[in-house]
Each structure stands twice: as structure tokens, then as C-alpha cells.
Amino acid sequence: MTRSTPPAKAASASGAPWEGSSTRRGFLSNGLRGAGLLALGGLACDSNRPHAGFLGVMERVNERFQRALFDPTRLAPELGEDEETDLEDFPKYKISPAFPVAPAGWRLAVGGLVARPLTLSAGDLQRLPRTRTRVRHHCVEGWSAVASWDGVRLSEIARAAGVDPRARYVEFRSFDAGYSSSWDLESALHPQTILAYGMDGQPLPIEHGAPLRLYAAVKLGYKMVKYLTEVNFLPVRSGGYWEDRGYEWFAGV
């Protein structure tokens, strides 16, 4: 902060009688300046802090807009096998330096506000009702791709665990260097939101999140956590790996 101070001579020349009023004026102008800075700060668009200021306010406006548009029964078009992207062209993303390998004795923990916390092995998941979805994948970067995904609907898991009505959010955790995300419950229970263990008719490749990843039609790719370890039904939203770094939290499509 730099502030211009009047030259000492002028200050002494102004004399005592004005001193009081000038401090009052100083107080007033400082106050006004502070209020102005605050107002500017509230309106500011800081690209490095997109959740704050005007950009943050508008993110919340856009979340409302997206929730109003969201129809829990509307399905994304299921595509034909001929529309599948070649497996080698489907981008593979991770946070760890190398593709993370599942720890021995891997299990999925389902917890939070549930009547029956679950611990599910790969075999347990395969025994639950199986579903396949082949929809367009939308990445935050702008690309799209198509694959078919085999797995179990998250709504099926929610029913098995007995989710408490107070749970409004779902948090997904992984063994990929702490990658995580959290969702609104409505999107998580959408019929095309699944925990996938298969891709294009094959077991899920390590590069795409083996042994288990989240897949959905109604969210951008970064919301679909790979290398899952935990699913928690929560009364409050938690952030997420990219969300905490400034990416939009709702990110519906």
C-alpha cells in the first residue's frame, strides 16, 4: 500500500486549528476508500480465485440454473457400438506420476449417512444387478468421446446401503493420490450414473480407473472419480481435487 503524505512544511503551515478536521477527513476518506476496495473486491473477477467475487457469485447462479434444468428422469441418448471411440484414442488421465495400481485386498467402502455401511469386493459388485451404458463423454477441456461402460447403478448401491434422507451429497474418494469429488445426490442417483468395472466389453483397464470408477452421462469427466475406494453419503458438500483448485463444483452437462 502506498499513500501520498503531504510535505512536512505544508503540514506545519496548516497549523493546529485544522488538525482535528483533517484527521476526521482522513478517517472519512480512509473509510470510503476501504468501502470502495471492499466493493471492488466483491465484484472483482480474479482468474486465480474463480470461486470468489463476482465469478463466484455467478458460479452459484449457474448452479441454480443447472439444477433447474436437471431432470432426474431424462436419459442421455444411448449410442450404437459404431459410435465408440477407439480405445487407444480415449484419453487417459491420472494425478499420480504413474497409473495407480489397486492395493491388495481392495474393497469399496460405502458409508456416511447410511443405515447399513457396506464393504464390497470386486466379486460382490459383479453380483449386484449389472447395467451397460454407452453415452457421449464430455470433458471440461472440450473434447468428447464414446465408450460403453459395464457396472452397477449407484442408485442400486444407495438402496442396498439404506441412505438417510438427510444425505444430500455424495463424496467419492480414490487411491489416486487423494483424487476425489463430491456430487449433488440427484445426479448421483441418475439411472446412467454407475460404478463401472468394465469398458467396451472388457474388464476396466488400469488406465481408465481399474478396479472401479464412477461413470455418468450427466457430469463432466473430472467429476467421474477413477480408482474408487470410498463412497460417502453426506449432509454437506465436500470439495474435490479439481474443485478445490478452482474448477466448477456442479459441472453438469
Partner 1 sequence: MPRPVQPWLVRATHWANLVLLTVMAGSGLRILVAYSYLGPQGAEYGWYPWQGASPPPALTVGGWLAGARHWHFAFAWLFVANAVVYVAYLFASGEWRRRLFFPRRDARNAWGTVLHDLRLRKETPPSAGLYNGMQRLTYTAVLALAPLVVLSGLAMYKPVQLPRLTALLGGYDAARAIHLGVLAALALFTVVHVIQVLVHPRTLADMSVGREGRPEEAS
Asked if 70 is part of the footprint of partner 1 (rule: CB under 8 A), the reply reads yes
Q: Distances in Å between the alpha carbon of 197 and those of 106, 149, 177?
A: 13, 8, 20
139 makes contact with partner 1 (CB under 8 A): yes
Which triple of cell numbers denotes residue 147? 465408450
Task: Kindly state the cell numbers that stand for 182.
Answer: 463430491
Three-state secondary structure string covering 53-114: HHHHHHHHHHHHHHHHHCCCCCCCCCCCHHHCCCHHHCCCCCCCCCCCCCCCCCCEEEEECE
Q: Does 27 bind partner 1 (CB under 8 A)?
A: no
Binding of partner 1 by 149 (CB under 8 A): no
Given candidates 17, 47, 73, 98, which one binds partner 1 under the rule CB under 8 A?
Answer: 47
Q: Which stretch binds partner 1 (CB under 8 A): 25-33, 50-58, 117-125, 153-161?
A: 50-58
The rounded Cα 144 to chain-centroid distance in angstroms is 19
Binding residues for partner 1 restricted to 100-129, rule: CB under 8 A: none
- Residue 224 carries which DSSP code? S
Q: Are 250 and 63 in contact (CB under 8 A)?
A: yes
H helix runs in 86-239, sequence order:
122-127, 154-161, 185-188
- Cell 476396466: give the residue: 204
CB of 239 to partner 1, least distance (A): 13
Q: Would you say 42 or 162 has its CB closer to partner 1?
A: 42
Collect all residues with Cβ–Cβ distance below 8 Å to 25 and sequence separation of at least 6.
none
Answer yes or no whether residue 217 interacts with partner 1 by CB under 8 A.
yes
Q: If binding is defined by CB under 8 A, does position 74 make contact with partner 1?
A: yes
Q: Is 93 in the site for partner 1 (CB under 8 A)?
A: no
Piece in contact with partner 1 (CB under 8 A), picked from 3-11, 52-60, 93-101, 105-113: 52-60
| Residue 110 backbone phi and psi in degrees, to 5 | -110, 120
Q: Which stretch binds partner 1 (CB under 8 A): 17-25, 85-93, 117-125, 126-134?
A: 85-93
Amino acid at 196: A
Q: Toward partner 1, which CB reaches closer, 60 or 166?
A: 60
Binding residue for partner 1 (CB under 8 A) from 14, 23, 29, 62? 62
Binding-site member from 95, 109, 111, 136 for partner 1 (CB under 8 A): 136
Residues touching partner 1: how many (CB under 8 A)?
44
Burial of 224 by CB count in 10 Å (0-12 exposed, 13-18 middle, 19+ buried)?
Answer: buried
Residues at the contact surface with partner 1, assessed by CB under 8 A: 45, 47-48, 50, 54-59, 61-62, 66, 69-71, 74, 76-77, 85-86, 89-91, 135-136, 138-146, 217-218, 242, 245-248, 252-253
